Structure 1
Amino acid sequence: MSGLVVIGSGAAGVSAAETFRARHPNIPVRILTTDPALPYAKPPLSKDFLCDRDTRLDLHSAAWFDRNRVELIRGVTVRGIDVERQEVVTAGGRRYAYWHLVVASGSAAVRPPVAGIESALTLRSFADAVALKMAARYADCAVVIGAGLIGCEAASCLAGRGVATMIVAAEHVPLQRRFGAQAGERVAKILSDTGVRFAGDTTVAAIEDGRVVLGTGETVEADLVVSAAGVRPDIRLAEAAGIATRDGRIVVDEHMHTSARNVYAAGDVALAHNVTAGRPIPAEHWRDAAHQGRVAGLTAAGFSAVWDIVPSYASVIDSSVLRYRGWGAGYERSRFVEHHNGFTVWYESGDDVVGVLTLNADDDYRRAEQMLRSA
């Protein structure tokens, strides 16, 4: 029975499936996912779940999938896409025919080439978060490799649980490559206030039993090591099927069409044309993935839809909420504006604002929406 097949059960995949189902109540809809859990939201894993804050993770209950006749096939690995026969092939040899296919396979954690890295935990899935939370119960000290958003959030949660935590990164301050030195200095202060130590301008050379060896030769005690060194979009299926890719992502237009007939891509794997920006923009966060999934679902259902929102996301470090809105690409210069209890960083290229980062500056955050749309 052909219909809509979705690969991946994250925000993009579930959004595509539920959007298509709402327009076509009788056409088969299937989601194939390697994850054994019911579809869940990932941002709260490092922001709330690890910190023991109340949060609702499930995107839908099992009853919702039954009631809406969305077939959720969990714990299955897709081995390939046959674009000529319009079929998806699983590792077990099962074939699922499709009229329309949405590839929303997300990203995989990148493990740095470090001796002993296999002992480090990652934080990409619910299973990862449960394992990390359990390990933290029996740990006195931890090292987090990487000072990106996930690394900073996880480190603050670990420190809040009473684990002496250090972040190790090649940057001089956390988040420097993405947000600049001044914003990074403020994040370093926030982390320090939560009890997180930061070791910058260095790397992890090796992970040994109960300790981490830094690139400087210094050794740090660590009952627990977390690898938060970034992610890589999982585009292997698309590449093997001959679907066009660029810069490590699947090329799609503003409707989420790939180069293959009736195949769409959304979320981390997609390099999509944003009509507001007027150029391809990588999607890296939950809200973007959900919106792209909706566009893919509408397009597959025969309705007109385009990706036109300005990307935005929030990061929670202890009780501080950093908000970013913008195109996520490089910038020529930044303007750091100090406020009484926060800050705003305006990122500019030419005469245009291309992004804004705020802490307790909601007026600037809201104002940036119109500025980015009119740039």
Structure 2
Amino acid sequence: MIAVGSGPAGLSAAAAFRARHPELRVQILTADPAMPYAKPPLSKEFLCGRDHHVDLHTPDWFDRRRLELVRGITVDHVDLDAREVITRGGRRYPYWNLVLAPGAIPVPLDVPGAENALQLRSLADAVTIRMAALQARSAVVIGGGLIGCEAAACLAGSGIATTMVAGEPVPLQRRFGLDAGERIAKLLSDCGVRFIGPARVVEVRDDGVTLDDGGCLDGDLVVAATGVRPDARLAESADIRTEGGRIVVDAHMHTSAPNVFAAGDVALAHNIAAGRRIPTEHWRDAADQGEIAGASAAGYPTAWGKVPGFHCAIGEARLKYRGWGIGYEHTRLVDHRDGFTIWYEASGEVVGVLSLNADDDYRLAAELVGTHVPVSD
């Protein structure tokens, strides 16, 4: 078996396959030259300068399982007829079963001077930003998504005058609504982050950015947290079915091609609890899907049925979301003494919950969302 990608989906797939076939060859191909690492800490503990080991496994872990980790190579295309993976240098890797788990790639910042902005997607990116922050007195974070919020809070917590610029009135409004955005903006303010929105950066300079209203913001350090998009190029070039930029798979992570599976950010997978295909972009979900893909490739198919979820750290606050991540019709806000819960509802059912210091609600959400319990009057 070959897994393309060394993130949680690729590693979980390889380990799951190996557990069921102790003797067959298993290879993991990745363009990243680093040993596999966890990405969530990159915008949290690691960027904040707190000691945190990001390595997922030691070299010995791979050796004991006889998993061949091939780093620093880029897969160019897949030959479905020959059942081979071909790298950019022309090397061919034959496979019997293939798991595509290339993850996502950053959405480029398309403005003059964009090359002066740093991205935060890889370990190398995080190291670069962390080193640049040591000399910075001011910073601008472009983008009001989850990664941008975490990064801005970390930079401000390091004593850097930090401004976040986003194209909506409050952070994450399009995703979680106005109530959530207002409370997230307050969390950022409590961390020392200045939020400007709706606004758009039209140029990145050596010493900051220029906004669409002509205003300028100083920034010794500029971070482009402009989101990511699934990397479905291998599937698209091989005429494997995709939809909306993701690889379409069933509940067992099987694609439209024989013996080819996909998992993680790149997959649009059928969730049996949801009764529909669900896109996810979160670490735990990628690991779960990878395990299913590896088991299915090994001939022991299981089905994806967990309710997706994630945690987000803004300073000392820990936001938790559980739900399908789909559109909602109504929200219900419940403020607590030291936090809040926002319930998201559609078609008379709870489809998600966002909580702060409300773990009981977070745990309840898994049951309500997963079992399609009607909303009480």
1:62: which partner in 2? 59
2:375: which partner in 1? none
1:255-274 to 2 correspondences below 5 Å: 255-274=252-271
Aligned AA (2:210): V
The counterpart of 1:276, out of the listed 273, 276, 293, is 273
1:243: which partner in 2? 240
Q: Please report how far the alpha carbon of residue 172 of structure 1 lies from its aligned counterpart in structure 2 after TM superposition.
A: 0.3
Q: Please report how far the alpha carbon of residue 111 of structure 1 lies from its aligned counterpart in structure 2 after TM superposition.
A: 1.6
Do residues 167 (structure 1) and 155 (structure 2) align? no
In 2, Cα distance between equivalents of 1:209 and 1:133: 18
Q: What SS does the corresponding residue of 2:341 show, helix, strand or coil?
A: strand
1:63-82 to 2 correspondences below 5 Å: 63-82=60-79
Q: Please report how far the alpha carbon of residue 106 of structure 1 lies from its aligned counterpart in structure 2 after TM superposition.
A: 0.5
Query: How many correspondences in the alignment?
Result: 372
In 1, Cα distance between equivalents of 2:15 and 2:208: 47
In 1, Cα distance between equivalents of 2:198 and 2:249: 37
Aligned AA (1:178): R
1:343: which partner in 2? 340
1:318-337 to 2 correspondences below 5 Å: 318-337=315-334
Q: Please report how far the alpha carbon of residue 22 of structure 1 lies from its aligned counterpart in structure 2 after TM superposition.
A: 1.1
In 2, Cα distance between equivalents of 1:213 and 1:335: 38
The counterpart of 1:130, out of the listed 127, 139, 144, is 127
Q: Deviations over 1:277-306 (max 9, x none)?
A: 000000210010000000000001111201
Q: Deviations over 1:154-181 (max 9, x none)?
A: 0000011111110000110011111111
Q: Please report how far the alpha carbon of residue 211 of structure 1 lies from its aligned counterpart in structure 2 after TM superposition.
A: 2.1
1:34: which partner in 2? 31
Q: Deviations over 1:346-365 (max 9, x none)?
A: 00002100000000001111
Alpha-carbon RMSD: 0.7
1:313: which partner in 2? 310
2:370: which partner in 1? 373
Deviation larger for 50-59 or 39-48: 50-59
Aligned AA (1:256): M
Q: Please report how far the alpha carbon of residue 55 of structure 1 lies from its aligned counterpart in structure 2 after TM superposition.
A: 2.2
- 5+ residue gaps, structure 2, are 373-377
In 2, Cα distance between equivalents of 1:97 and 1:284: 29
Aligned AA (1:84): D
Runs of at least 4 residues off by over 4 Å: none
Aligned AA (1:304): P
1:1-375 to 2 correspondences below 5 Å: 4-375=1-372
Q: What SS does the corresponding residue of 1:49 show, helix, strand or coil?
A: coil
Q: Please report how far the alpha carbon of residue 53 of structure 1 lies from its aligned counterpart in structure 2 after TM superposition.
A: 2.4
In 1, Cα distance between equivalents of 2:206 and 2:344: 43
Asked if structure 1 preserves the Cα contact closer than 8 Å seen for 2:49 and 2:130, the reply is no
Aligned AA (1:177): R
Q: Please report how far the alpha carbon of residue 73 of structure 1 lies from its aligned counterpart in structure 2 after TM superposition.
A: 0.3
Q: Please report how far the alpha carbon of residue 54 of structure 1 lies from its aligned counterpart in structure 2 after TM superposition.
A: 3.1
Q: Please report how far the alpha carbon of residue 193 of structure 1 lies from its aligned counterpart in structure 2 after TM superposition.
A: 1.0
Q: Please report how far the alpha carbon of residue 57 of structure 1 lies from its aligned counterpart in structure 2 after TM superposition.
A: 1.2
Q: Please report how far the alpha carbon of residue 20 of structure 1 lies from its aligned counterpart in structure 2 after TM superposition.
A: 0.7
Aligned AA (2:326): A
In 2, Cα distance between equivalents of 1:374 and 1:70: 38
Aligned AA (1:289): A
In 2, Cα distance between equivalents of 1:264 and 1:24: 17
Q: Please report how far the alpha carbon of residue 43 of structure 1 lies from its aligned counterpart in structure 2 after TM superposition.
A: 0.4
Q: Please report how far the alpha carbon of residue 261 of structure 1 lies from its aligned counterpart in structure 2 after TM superposition.
A: 0.5
In 1, Cα distance between equivalents of 2:301 and 2:68: 25
Aligned AA (1:345): I
Aligned AA (1:38): M
In 2, Cα distance between equivalents of 1:362 and 1:209: 44
Q: Deviations over 1:214-241 (max 9, x none)?
A: 1111001111110101101111111001
Q: Please report how far the alpha carbon of residue 112 of structure 1 lies from its aligned counterpart in structure 2 after TM superposition.
A: 2.6
Q: What SS does the corresponding residue of 2:45 show, helix, strand or coil?
A: helix
Q: What SS does the corresponding residue of 2:253 show, helix, strand or coil?
A: coil
Aligned AA (1:100): N
Q: What SS does the corresponding residue of 1:150 show, helix, strand or coil?
A: helix
In 2, Cα distance between equivalents of 1:362 and 1:110: 33
Q: Please report how far the alpha carbon of residue 374 of structure 1 lies from its aligned counterpart in structure 2 after TM superposition.
A: 1.4
Asked if structure 1 preserves the Cα contact closer than 8 Å seen for 2:116 and 2:206, the reply is no
Aligned AA (1:61): T
In 2, Cα distance between equivalents of 1:141 and 1:184: 24
In 1, Cα distance between equivalents of 2:166 and 2:45: 23
In 2, Cα distance between equivalents of 1:160 and 1:186: 18
